[in-house]
Structure 1
Amino acid sequence: MQVIEHPVEKLHSALRSTRKELIEMYEKYSKEEKSFLEGCLIPGDSLFGPITIHSDSDWIPSHPEAPQDFLSFYSNPYRSTPNNDHKTIYIQTIGSFGEGAGITEQYVEWLREYCQAFYYGLVVKLLPPVTVASTNCTFRVNSNSYNLQLHAGELLSFLKKKKPKDAFCIVGITMIDLYPRESWNFVFGQASLTEGVGVFSFARYDDDFYKRSYAGRLKKAVRLEPGNYALFQGYYTPPITSKLLLRSCKTLTHEIGHIFGVQHCQWLQCVMQGSNHLEESDRRPMDVCPICLRKLQSAIGFKIADRYKALLCWIETEGGASVPHSGKPTQSFQDFRQWLCKCLNILQDEMF
């Protein structure tokens, strides 16, 4: 296992920048926020540890790229920033999400509320669900897993046409596996920064997906005909578990982060780290590191403590706005809950 540790001075430079106007922007943080951000850069801090590489198949060894500091983020002419006319994140479900509309409504509402807490200060809305047939996208059977897959690029084109005028972005979510091109085995998701669209699949977050007994596998002999979307009617969807909800929340917020212009993080443990496989994705924490937090805060304008409180409230509140009497499966979020409490305790201690 390789541990990536940056000198504190380099982390401070990545956070604060070396440009005068960006340093002046940083000085607008409250004393408590600056103390929190800078204190979390100290090596060995339990809140934000160093990134670990477990194998050559992990993201960083297989996708070498320069780390993105705050200056690189802020100077990117293609990054997207919400404004008063475009401050809504729209979520579009594609295909079935569970056995019955009630389950789908419940699960997607939890995702919506989590996303709204994560991107505190923006509005997140659900669009009416659509069938796979309505997207008119290409599909195939994966030659390795024998699962149905949808073409991610064509779904992006479909979503671009549906993007509301007041949208900061529109993201499609599906329980059906995705592929970006014929030569690729699969892709967890795909997004376009310049177009403000993204599409993500949660199919591989089911613990049974890689088992030969997975209920979504088709027989090798299945013959596909273009436009035969009947295959997707009643197509298998995994049970909604706490682990699936956690993985879905993590993926959704990670991919929307790219639409803001935040690249894969290489500074500290962060939800914006890249991942090539499920095991690496599970190693990522739920939230952003201090450097990526500043990137989001500069784009949205939230108070750090308010954002942490909103995320904590999401974990501790049963049900959701439209389904208040249902039990939200947050067992897998308890480590994140304790982490948020530590962050808030540090911020509050700095105030007194």
Structure 2
Amino acid sequence: MGISASSPARRYKTLIGDLEEDISSVEHKMYSLSQYVLDQNSDMLGKHRPELDMCIIDTWSAKNVHEEDNGSKKNDRADEKFILFQLMISEKPYFCSQTFTQWNTIYKFDQWWTPCCKKGTKIYIQPVESFPQFLTDFEIDLKHLGGSHDFFALLKRLLEAYFDGMTIDILPNVNFHDSKWKIKARFHHKTNSKQYHVTDFFPKLRSVKPADGYCILGLSWTDLYPTEKLNFVLGEAHFAFKSAIFCFGRCEPKIYDPETFKDIDEMDAKLLWRIIKVVSHETCHLFGLMHCWYFRCNMNESCSMAEAASQPLFLCPVCLRKLQHACGFDLINRYRRILVILQDIVSVFPSQEIEQSIQWLEKCLKFLLTDKL
């Protein structure tokens, strides 16, 4: 007799894919954590592991965000021990969020439909219009990666580590007047800041993507808006066009106060963290990843800059499985590459978020490289 569609084995394979293929013990250890999505009552859930000095999986709910915003202590257990992954509590069935099988169906069809013999292995970064002088003059010393880097070289290094297996190239800046790009613009009624219509960028970016590119990511200093009725968007990606656009969000109308507002005039840890978070999130969309409702994850949906900045930099096991399938990276090598870059960055730009990300990487590597579960 075959396995029924509702059996645990079938549901797990739908969620995370077939782990019977030739994968390493480290990968199996990471992806097997997805089982907690299907079994929230596991005896292992929420249990502290003294030998690892952390809790592998614990639970998290949306009420924590509200409590955190009000300044209250959101999770006593989180203060007591390090938690590697936090399982989202939801009444929705697991398949209502994007499973590996759902993602892989879309991804395979896209590869078949792409009218080229070989899938591009490059991610192109396309600067759009002008950037302030403090950004063009920016330099940071990455001691472990060859010394001084300008802003776009830093971004290239970060994305090469995050999307290990892909090559990142920077294209020359696009000027709308010279290139004759027709991008709709407006001035926001509240802030009086210029904004570009986000969806106008997708076909334009695709048209300048070189043939060897898998996708292209536009970067704009000017704010973006999605529709006439909506105020602002940090960034947006279009999987079919393989293009995305991201702005630095100088002025989010939701938090705009004309009495206290001051435009960004220097690179600091807060701005750099916001850039890292949003660029990595939007680029993941270009690989077909949708918003995640399984764990706290870089692919969680956000409705504000503050919410996006509060979310983890790293992917949960379900989303990581998708990205690894697309890029073909080794988990340990990828985490080590990201760790080196973040350590160099935090030595110049001290940041609680980056420090927490470094701690997460160190704990995750310890978990993966320790024989005991």
Residue aligning to 1:214: 261
**1:288 aligned counterpart, secondary structure:** coil
Shift in alpha-carbon separation, 1:88–1:137, aligned structure 2, 3 A: same
Residue aligning to 1:98: 132
Task: Please tell me whether the aligned partners of residues 79 and 259 of structure 1 are also in contact (alpha carbons under 8 angstroms).
Answer: no
Moved more, 335-344 or 202-211: 202-211
Q: Does 1:117 align with 2:161?
A: yes
Residue type of the alignment partner of 2:349: P
Residue type of the alignment partner of 1:337: I
Q: Which has the higher contact order (CA 8 A, sep 6+)?
A: 1
Task: Please tell me whether the aligned partners of residues 173 and 199 of structure 1 are also in contact (alpha carbons under 8 angstroms).
Answer: yes
Q: Deviations over 1:192-251 (max 9, x none)?
A: 1111111111225889973324345xxxxxxxxxxxxxxxxxxxx542111211111111
Q: Does 1:296 align with 2:328?
A: no
Q: CA deviation at 1:170?
A: 0.5
Partners of 1:84 and 1:329 lie apart in 2 by 40
Q: Structure 1: which 5+ runs fail to align?
A: 1-8, 217-236, 320-326
Any residues of structure 2 matched to 1:153-232 within 5 Å, and which? 153-204=199-250, 210-212=256-258, 213-215=260-262
Shift in alpha-carbon separation, 1:127–1:93, aligned structure 2, 3 A: same
Moved more, 93-102 or 108-117: 93-102
Residue aligning to 2:62: 53
Task: Please tell me whether the aligned partners of residues 88 and 168 of structure 1 are also in contact (alpha carbons under 8 angstroms).
Answer: yes
Task: Please tell me whether the aligned partners of residues 80 and 194 of structure 1 are also in contact (alpha carbons under 8 angstroms).
Answer: no
TM-score, normalised on structure 2? 0.72
Any residues of structure 2 matched to 1:243-282 within 5 Å, and which? 243-282=270-309
Shift in alpha-carbon separation, 1:33–1:152, aligned structure 2, 3 A: same
Residue aligning to 2:79: none
Q: Does 1:333 align with 2:354?
A: yes
Counterpart pick for 2:31 among 37, 56, 73: 37
Partners of 1:286 and 1:51 lie apart in 2 by 17
Task: Please tell me whether the aligned partners of residues 79 and 260 of structure 1 are also in contact (alpha carbons under 8 angstroms).
Answer: no
Partners of 2:325 and 2:11 lie apart in 1 by 14
Shift in alpha-carbon separation, 1:209–1:202, aligned structure 2, 3 A: farther
Partners of 2:124 and 2:199 lie apart in 1 by 18
Q: Structure 2: which 5+ runs fail to align?
A: 1-5, 37-43, 48-54, 67-88, 140-148
Partners of 1:51 and 1:29 lie apart in 2 by 30
**2:299 aligned counterpart, secondary structure:** coil
Aligned length: 310
Task: Please tell me whether the aligned partners of residues 231 and 253 of structure 2 are also in contact (alpha carbons under 8 angstroms).
Answer: no
Identity of aligned residues (%): 27
Shift in alpha-carbon separation, 1:145–1:51, aligned structure 2, 3 A: farther
Task: Please tell me whether the aligned partners of residues 67 and 267 of structure 1 are also in contact (alpha carbons under 8 angstroms).
Answer: yes
TM-score, normalised on structure 1? 0.76
Q: CA deviation at 1:98?
A: 3.2
Q: Deviations over 1:26-55 (max 9, x none)?
A: 542212221233247453374565453247
Task: Please tell me whether the aligned partners of residues 179 and 187 of structure 1 are also in contact (alpha carbons under 8 angstroms).
Answer: yes
Residue type of the alignment partner of 1:102: D
Q: Does 1:74 align with 2:104?
A: yes
